[in-house]
A and B are shown apart, each in its own frame.
Chain A
Amino acid sequence: MPSINEKITEEIRKLASSLLDSGTVAAFLGFTKGTLPGRMQPFVARKPEDAQKLHWNSFCVVNLANYLPALLKSFEPPRRPNDPPPEGPLPKVGVLATGCWSRNMVVQIQENQIDRDRVVIVGISSRGMVDRKKLLEKVGGREITSIDEDDHSLTVTGQGFEEKINRWDVVRDNCQTCVHPDPVIYDELIGELGGERKIPDRFRQVDEIEALSIDERWSWFQNEISSCIRCYACRNACPLCYCPTCFVDDSRPQWVGKSIDKVDTALFHILRAYHCAGRCTDCGSCESVCPMGIRMRLFTKKLQKDVLELYDFEPGLDLETPLPLSTYRMDDPQDFILTHIKKGEEK
């Protein structure tokens, strides 16, 4: 009997090839197997026969929404900044979307990065993706030569060993605490929806750090980012980071130095996380692509918690609610403001 992922792969291929064949979409964005076991790479199918290369398993850790704006743009005729928008309908692109990816697409639509009419979203309810670092730890850092996946277990083989590992044990932290595994918007659906998940302590990791003293938190932060080599993989893998010139590349003013000085690294991580405030869907792409194993998702998770607490908002759940930092309310909490003055309060 085929496993869940095999069934999903089969359906993706069928759907992608029919969408490409009928000309509904000009390209289909999905995943194909990478060159190493447990590594998946984003893949754009442009011909119906390409669809056979698409693949789905528990290692699709990179957020596909990240590639969408550029892929859509590649189908537009070249134009200068002040030229009128091209006439007539532009080619569409098909894309796979789990809960968090679809929420990122909602954010991108709200921020005018993608056009809803030009994407065909193929929803898949996520079962959680596997953290490669956790998996490597389970096998004691030995080299893995193949991974066989079952619905609830992974059989990992390498030179001289074969281990069966419970899948949920090695699922990424963000997936384990995910409450919205289902796609929020989709045109086609593959498999069944899993429904909202109830996680009583989804901010547990953040709470643990908040409980520390101020100096302990500072040393935690310093320690966490100390291995950063400033490769910016976290930025590049993030679907929220689409500024034409990132603040780290600005040279006048130069907000952040380019060295691996610890203050520069700290500022980079503070600002990178802060720019995701109210927009981050906790997809975990940044953490998954980090070559140094920095858990920078904890920073964005903290901001996510505060946005939920202060403004009762979770990004990407619907197209109508404006993003929290692009709107305001007269009675927003302001207990952090020094010396409350009665005058401003009652207004």
Chain B
Amino acid sequence: METGKNSDWEPKIIAFLCNWCSYAGADLAGVSRYQYPPSIRIVRVPCSGRISANLILDALRSGADGVLVSGCHPGDCHYISGNLYARRRFALLERFLEFIGIEPGRVNFTWISASEGEQFAKVAQEVTERVKRLGPARKLVKEIESCPA
């Protein structure tokens, strides 16, 4: 079992990025050659409003050490208000997960616009560091071998 504080351990982080801002922002980070940790695995979604608690928890259940959800800045949503509805849901989910004992920092939320390539690289760096400090996620990971056949 990994110790978590081990420096050669790299977390797996699932990043849900909205198609219109954050995904383009991540793309820009790549095009502009900003370096960011390879622990981020990007899933492109139509809008941050598409992200439900199910998806975030499913990522954790499947073994992700951290989750990053990113959408357009408030007011810039391609669908006018998708991220604003999402913001309320995220606020409640974030507090609720903390309430039941999921460490803050496992599930992260941010806004990245299409022009913020550098910002994306910084956020990716920051999230990776946060998750690294927490170590491997164990609480909501479903261990296949622990299931009776």
Contact = CB atoms under 8 A, between A and B. Distances in A.
Contact of B111 (A253, A333, A344): A344
Interface stretch (A66-74, A141-149, A176-184, A208-216): A208-216
Contact of B139 (A218, A302, A347): A218
B1 to A, nearest CB: 17
B85 A328 contact: yes
B131 to A, nearest CB: 12
Contacts of B140: 263, 266-267
B123 interface: yes
Interface in A153-178: none
A332 B84 contact: yes
Nearest to A221: B100
Interface string A270-288: 1101100110000000000
Contacts of A274: 53, 92-93, 96
A343 B141 CA distance: 37
A54 B84 CA distance: 47
Contacts of B84: 328-330, 332
A302 B74 contact: no
Interface in B81-104: 81, 84-85, 87-104
A218 B96 contact: no
A259 interface: yes
Given A218-B101, A270-B53, A338-B127, A263 B96 contact: no
A303 B96 contact: yes
B133 interface: no
Contacts of B91: 306, 310, 332-334, 336
Interface stretch (B3-11, B39-47, B54-62): B54-62
Contacts of A273: 96
A180 to B, nearest CB: 21
Nearest to B101: A218
A307 B126 contact: no
B99 A347 contact: no
Task: Using C-beta atoms within 8 Å of the partner chain, give the interface range for chain A.
Answer: 35 or more
A311 interface: yes
Interface residues of B, number: 49
A231 interface: no
Contact of A341 (B54, B101, B119): B119
B89 A332 contact: no
B87 A343 contact: no
A336 B54 contact: no
A335 B79 CA distance: 23
Nearest to A306: B95
Contact of B88 (A261, A302, A311): A311
B43 to A, nearest CB: 13
A332 B83 CA distance: 11
A270 B100 contact: yes
Interface of B: 53-54, 57-58, 61, 73-76, 81, 84-85, 87-104, 108-111, 113, 116, 119, 122-123, 126-127, 139-143, 146-148
Interface of A: 206, 209-210, 214-222, 247, 253, 255, 257, 259, 261, 263-264, 266-267, 270-271, 273-274, 277-278, 299, 302-303, 306-307, 310-311, 324-326, 328-330, 332-334, 336-339, 341, 343-344, 347
Given A218-B100, A271-B54, A338-B123, 19 more contacts: A206-B99, A214-B103, A217-B99, A222-B101, A255-B57, A261-B147, A267-B61, A270-B96, A271-B57, A299-B99, A307-B92, A328-B85, A330-B84, A332-B84, A332-B88, A334-B87, A336-B109, A337-B87, A347-B75
4 nearest CB pairs, A to B: A218-B101, A344-B73, A328-B84, A217-B101
